[in-house]
Structure 1
Amino acid sequence: MNKLKGVLPVLLLGNLLCMMDVSIMTIVLPEIQSAFGESLTELSWALNIYTIIFATLIIPFGRLAERFGQNKFVFTGLVVFGLGSLLTGLSPNLTWMLVARAIQSIGAAAIIPTSMVIGLDLNSQANRNRVVAALAGVQGLAVALGPTVGGIVAQYWGWRWVFFINVPLVILDLIVFGFVLPLRHEKTVHVKIDWLGALLSMALLFSLSLGLIKGNTWGWQSTTIVSLFTLTTISFIAFLAWERYTAHPMVDLQLFRSRNFNGASLALVLCNFFLGGLAVLLPTFLTRVHGTSELTAALLMTPYSVTVMVTVILTSLVIRHVNNKLIVASGFLLMGISYVLLGRIPLGSNYRQLIIADILLGLGYGLVAATANILAVADFHGARLTSSQSVANVLRQVGMVLAIAVFTTLLTSNVTHAKRETLAVAHTQVSRLANVTATQQHRLNQKLQRRLNPNSTAVTSTKTKFKPTTITVSTAARQQKAHRIYQQQLLSIATAKAVPVTLIPLSAKQQLQRSITIAVNRKITQRVHQLNRELTELTQRIHQSLKHHLNHAFLNVFGVLSWLPFAAILMVPVFKFRHDH
């Protein structure tokens, strides 16, 4: 019996939960924002801290696992991840949540790279492709599935259960873990730990991740961001110099003599970048621009999640029979077509084109990711296998972090432009309201300026429509106008009859006052109704203009970057031919 049969499901579940929590929060951020009363900028740290710590710890944890026992390391990682999930679900405020998410990410960093090594060590060379495809594929699936699962769970049980749901699954995994993987008398490797290399790699990845994620918020030319990228550069140079010098490197640089590994590394960064772009933008696009519920948005994202899973499985089965370069090239081609379609989604409620683009992206990602993950380990065994997995996992995270940086930067610029365009249209429309006074126009423009603040990076939701300014005329103002007209008419009658006003009969005066009051009130009411109708139509036009411009702001990001997947095909020659590996 294959001794991996009982182990693989345990490893798969742990990987699924850890990677799902990279993206699962994107769909529930609005609910958490309402619960905590925090800005989305502050709340985004709950996403960022998980990604940054996760990426930072992967390489040193991969080596530490060899020394202390890989099974124990993964088991401990599951315990820590489960504890972090419970604490995140119990969070009463943002500070608590940030600490809990950090605990989660520490557990995830202990699980992900070591799981792959355990799976490969327990299996034969002949079945290595299936193991790699299964574990790496489930990681890509989990990132894609995160918003879908988060949307469904939050819809029916609330946002806290997005994290609570991890706890029973982790407990189940821990129970089975003890039966299929030994924790006592486990084989360990007494390797020397490259502590300086670990410190340099952590400084490198921390500064790079933080700089890319917060560059748009803090300003790309700000002192903080420039300092972070300076630290990244210094750490990278120092890391390479030290790893070449030390006898026990944290990452064996001999890995990069393999063409397959180099090609796989680049492919992993790129395919996760393209997948991350969709995961970053689509939930906000659907909920804030198209006004869908979180559940509907989750369901619309499901096709690419399912396609990723199916494609990864099928690719792992046929990879020995099809040229690897052809598979990778086809994957990037499909992702490019997907981005072209995403850049041209119509504004209406027909999401057929979005679903087709979802499926094509899932197909493309599955083809590239499965092949790249298999080729990343194709040439290695032992310690180099561990290093290759650590580096591959870091590169997946780099792809995701790059996606967050690039896509949010382009989106922020587009959203600012969209708000300015909408404001320009709104001001023009307001100026054309002939029956509205200059004071009323000024107040209306101020209200629009506050709602469509171009200096804010937040995406103005089209769910909440503009409340039209309602014009009313008070009873006192009506009486004052009627009295003024009455006095003028009375004077005109007296002049025409060449008599003093005092000689006009009281009954005639009262009749004149009644008729003028009725006429004035009728005219004012008609005018108010007409003005309010015009204002209602104006706000509807402004709302439609905002929706149009925001729709273009999101889709333009995919359109601008649609050339990149096609250009990625040019890196395919880096790989060796299938028959060479």
Structure 2
Amino acid sequence: MNKLKGVLPVLLLGNLLCMMDVSIMTIVLPEIQSAFGESLTELSWALNVYTIIFATLIIPFGRLAERFGQNKFVFAGLVVFGTGSLLTGMAPNLTWMLIARTIQSVGAAAIIPTSMVIGLDLSSMANRNRVVAALAGVQGLAVALGPTIGGIVAQYFGWRWVFFINVPLVVLDLLVFGFVLPLRHEKTTHVKIDWLGAALSMIMLFSLSLGLIKGNDWGWQSPVILSLFALAFISFLLFLFWERHTKVPMVDLQLFRSRNFNGSSLALVLCNFFLGGMAVLLPTFLTRVHGTSELKAALLMTPYSVTVMITVILTSLVIKRINNKVIVAVGFLLMGVSYLLLSTVPMGSNYHQLILADVLLGLGYGLVAATANILAVADFHGSRLTSSQSVANVLRQVGMVLAIAVFTTLLTSNVTQAKRNTLADAQTQVSRLANVTTAQKNTLTRKLRRKLNPNSTTVTATAATVTSPTVTISAATRQQKATMAYRQAIQQLATVKQVSPSLIPQVTKQQIHHTITLAVNRKITQKVQQLNQELANLVHTVRQALKHHLNHAFLNVFGSLSWLPFAALLIVPVFKFRRED
């Protein structure tokens, strides 16, 4: 136990950094987009590549760690992750960043599952639940902390330090690592590697993750996406067939004979799905729809992170005293209430309801995740313990990938409808403009259609890009209108006096020219001001309408899925009534 006290902080820090980088980019994507001049669609690969590679490598890396030494494997993973972080922060373009993020994800896949096994091997059965809760809890905490830390760091030091900050922390972890965990003469297990099973699992997870993440961009019914899903399904069937017949399977299918493991698997997918939905939508919602700063958005999400940390600690302490099913059920109920609150957040600057929803989601996630992670390893030892952790980590990533796919798909549909509704309202408003010519109305309508293009699903600063056009009249035009009015006035005076215009005294002509010029300019200025005010009012109305529609576009995503946490209660009976120690 004394040795574990020295090892656990090292493992916790590594897990925190790796999982934080799953979500830390969400808050700084607009800044990176400006720096690289890339579209958000292309830049999203910097997020996707980390998640996909991470999920793909977890299972085979869990086995390789047993063969080459778990301590060495985690140490090497920290080196690789730190190198990837440094390279990502130095990235001059998107290609460099994608390669660097891939390196990061390889290191993370080496650290996460093996850290859990190391911690469990060093703990007694009495302390096992606390170790699992601490490591698994810090992973959920890290995903939630990602946007918060990213927003604070980017606000004061720039987006590159979102990645540079990992480097000194990794170096610190490496320096302590050698003192608390042996790297020489480490115990290894000469297990045979199921290379075919590893290949099939990697193909399955890669194709499934890629299909889910890019389905919305490439089209859910496109040949590429359908092929990816077909490949994932076929490789999954082949993986199951092979694992049942090989002597040294990559994943021991006997794991799924445990009710606790099955219940935990479903619970981990779902609770990370609900966590991912918040992490995916809220940063963009707050910064691009409500116009808050990255720092304020980060602070508004902080209550969730704090609540997760506290809840995970408390759950690990009381799990033996309270029925496990009750803890899981209460957790899902709290997440359901949180989603209902998120679906009705008011548009004003009062974010009390959002903070309350944060806290409830943190409570719910902490209860479910801590319990599920403890029960996932409750019935296993040895190689099955390693397998259970690898599968559990994969399922956490599957939950996050599903969140990205489902939430972005629903949001895309909602944003498209929001723009259509706003454009329809705007066209009605344009048609009612009293002091605008038909040509000007047509020009204004074309500009609005370009700004509110329903075929574009980007939300970044959408409302702010709808700017008010300004009508101006040039000096030459003013002079031309004044001259025409002057000539008409001279002709009318000549007609009244029944004389030729040339016989009107020059002094009289100068007085008339001065008076007419002032009057014409005054009338033009008044009309321009009236017209610009009318246009400004129109644009203000359009921007408010767009903000209103986009607000509902985001919140309706939470509303449309608010039933799911309550439906998740159906998995509670899968767990055993009480875990057997």
Give TM-score scaled by structure 2 length: 0.98
The aligned counterpart of 2:472 is 472
SS in 2 for 1:456: coil
- Of 479-488 and 568-577, deviating more is 479-488
* Structure 2 residue aligned with 1:2: 2
Counting matched residue pairs gives 581
Mean Cα deviation higher: 494-503 or 410-419: 494-503
Unaligned runs of 5+ in 1: none
Residues of 2 paired with 1:155 and 1:498: CA distance?
A: 78
Verify the 8 A CA contact 1:77 1:106 in the aligned structure 2: yes
2:484 maps to 484
Structure 1 residue 159: deviation in Å?
A: 1.1
Letter in 2 for 1:357: A
Partner of 2:510: 510
Determine the C-alpha separation between the residues in 1 that align with 2:188 and 2:465: 62
Q: Helix, strand or coil: the match of 1:457? A: coil
The alpha carbon displacement at 1:499 in A equals: 3.5
Higher mean displacement: 489-498 or 531-540: 489-498
CA contact (8 A) 2:336 2:563 kept: yes
1:205 Cα deviation from its structure 2 partner: 0.2
**In 2: Cα distance, 1:579 partner to 1:267 partner:** 16
Equivalents in 2 of 1:400, 1:521: separation in Å?
64
What one-letter code is carried by the residue in structure 1 that aligns with 2:244?
R
CA contact (8 A) 1:153 1:162 kept: yes
**Structure 2 residue aligned with 1:564:** 564
- Contact 2:451–2:465 (Cα < 8 Å) also in 1: no
Q: Which residue of the partner structure matches residue 363 of structure 2?
A: 363
Distance in structure 2 (CA, Å) of the matches to 1:467 and 1:45: 31
Partner of 1:537: 537
Alpha-carbon shift at residue 176 of structure 1 (Å) = 1.1
CA shift for structure 1 position 580: 4.6
Name the aligned partner's letter for residue 179 of structure 2: F
1:73 aligns with 2:73: yes
Q: Where does residue 496 of structure 2 map in the other structure? A: 496
* CA–CA separation in structure 2 for the residues paired with 1:514 and 1:89: 67
Deviation larger for 514-523 or 21-30: 514-523
Contact preservation (8 Å) 2:74, 2:114? yes
The answer for the alignment partner of 1:174 in structure 2 is: 174
Question: How far apart in 1 are the matches of 2:506 and 2:63?
Answer: 105
Q: CA deviation at 1:495?
A: 3.1
1:464 deviates by 3.1
Aligned residue identity for 2:422: T
Give 1:465 shift: 5.5
Q: What amino acid is the match of 2:423?
A: L
The offset of 1:462, in angstroms, is: 5.4
Identify the range of structure 1 (420-429 vs 323-332) with the bigger mean alpha-carbon deviation: 420-429
Give deviations 1:315-341, integer Å, cap 9, x for gaps.
000000000000000000000000000
Q: Is the 8 A contact 2:75 2:177 kept in 1?
A: yes
Displacement of 1:489 in angstroms is 3.0
Q: Could you say which residue in structure 2 is the equivalent of 1:332?
A: 332
**Correspondence list, 1:544-563, <5 A:** 544-563=544-563
Pairwise mapping of residues 359-508 of structure 1 onto structure 2 (< 5 A)? Answer: 359-461=359-461, 464=464, 466-508=466-508
Shift of 1:511: 2.6
SS at match of 1:126: coil
> What amino acid sits opposite 1:482 in the alignment?
A
The alignment partner of 2:4 has SS state of coil
Structure 1 residue aligned with 2:89: 89
Q: Which residue of 2 aligns with 1:37?
A: 37
1:423 Cα deviation after fit: 1.3
Question: What does the per-residue CA deviation read over 1:408-448, in whole Å, with 9 as the maximum and x for residues that have no partner?
Answer: 01111111111111111111111211111122112222222
Question: What amino acid is aligned across from residue 562 of structure 1 in structure 2?
Answer: S
Provide the residue aligned with 1:301 in structure 2.
301
Displacement after TM superposition at 1:510 (Å): 3.0
- The Cα offsets for residues 52-71 of structure 1, whole Å up to 9 and x where unpaired, read as 00000000000111111111
User: 2:318 corresponds to which residue?
Assistant: 318
- Asked if structure 2 preserves the Cα contact closer than 8 Å seen for 1:214 and 1:405, the reply is yes
- CA-based RMSD: 1.3
Shift in Å, 1:486 = 2.7
Following superposition, the deviation at residue 505 of structure 1 comes to: 3.4
Match of 1:264 in 2: 264
Q: List aligned pairs for 1:331-350, cutoff 5 A.
A: 331-350=331-350
Corresponding position of 1:578: 578
Q: Which residue of 2 aligns with 1:279?
A: 279
Q: Which residue of 2 aligns with 1:115?
A: 115
* Number of the residue aligned with 2:225: 225
> Bigger CA drift: 335-344 or 428-437?
428-437
Gaps of 5+ in 2: none
Q: What letter corresponds to residue 473 of structure 1 in structure 2? A: I
Question: Deviation at 1:103?
Answer: 0.4
Report the alpha carbon displacement of residue 579 of structure 1 after superposing the two structures with TM: 5.1
Measure, in 2, the Cα distance between the counterparts of 1:485 and 1:41: 57
Q: Distance in 2 between matches of 1:112 and 1:430?
A: 57
Aligned AA (2:375): L
The alpha carbon displacement at 1:463 in A equals 7.0
SS in 2 for 1:349: coil
TM-superposed deviation, 1:171: 1.1
TM-superposed CA distance for 1:529, in Å, is 0.9
Q: Distance in 2 between matches of 1:266 and 1:132?
A: 17
Aligned equivalents of 2:433 and 2:471: distance in 1? 13
Deviation by residue 1:497-546 (Cα, 9 ceiling, x = unmatched): 44333343333333323222221111111111111111111111111111
- Matched-pair contact (CA < 8 Å) for 1:14–1:111: yes
2:188 is matched with which residue?
A: 188
- Give the partner amino acid of 1:179: F
Question: 1:254-283: CA deviations, max 9, x gaps?
Answer: 111111000000000000000000000010
Q: What whole-Å deviation, never above 9, does each CA across 1:200-220 have from its counterpart, x for those lacking one?
A: 000000000000000001111
Q: Distance in 1 between matches of 2:11 and 2:478?
A: 78
Deviations 1:268-306 (A, max 9, x none): 000000000000001000110111111111111100001
The superposition leaves residues 21-48 of structure 1 with CA deviations (integer Å, 9 ceiling, x where unpaired) of 1011111111111111111111111100
Q: TM-score, normalised by structure 1?
A: 0.98
Alpha-carbon distance in 1 for matches of 2:306, 2:313 = 11
C-alpha distance 157-580 of structure 1, shift in aligned 2 (>3 A): same
- In structure 2, C-alpha distance between the alignment counterparts of 1:239 and 1:296, rounded to whole Å: 46
Cα shift at 1:460: 4.1
Any idea what SS the aligned residue of 1:188 has?
A: coil
Aligned residue in 1 for 2:11: 11
Structure 1 residue 570: deviation in Å?
Answer: 1.2
Q: CA offsets per residue over residues 185-238 of structure 1, 9 Å max, x none?
A: 111111111100000000000000000000001111111111100101111111
Could you tell me how far 1:472 is from its partner in structure 2? Answer: 1.2
Amino acid at match of 1:282: L
1:151 match: 151
The one-letter code sitting in structure 2 at the alignment partner of 1:171 is V
Matched-pair contact (CA < 8 Å) for 1:315–1:366:
yes
